[in-house]
Amino acid sequence: MAFTEGILVGLSMIIFIGPVFFTLLKSTLEHGKFAGFAVASGIIISDVTCIAVCLLGAIPFFDNDINQFWIGLTGSIILLALGLKYLIKPNAEHNSRQLRVKNVLIVSFFTKGFLVNFINPFVFLVWIGLITYAKSEFIHYESLFIFLGGALLGIFSTDLLKVILADKIKRLIQPKVLRVTYRIIGIILIGFAIRIFLYVML
Q: Which residues contact 192 (CB under 8 A, 6 or more apart)?
A: 18, 19, 79, 83
Give residue limits of the domains in the chain: 2-201
Helix (H, G, I), strand (E, B), or coil: what is residue 19?
helix
- Taking only the tens place, the pLDDT of each residue in 3-58 is 888 888 888 877 777 788 888 888 888 888 888 899 999 999 999 998 888 887 66
- Taking only the tens place, the pLDDT of each residue in 148-184 is 999 999 999 999 998 998 888 877 666 677 777 778 8
Which ranges of the chain would DSSP assign to H, the alpha helix? Answer: 2-12, 19-31, 33-53, 59-63, 65-88, 96-101, 103-118, 121-137, 141-170, 175-201
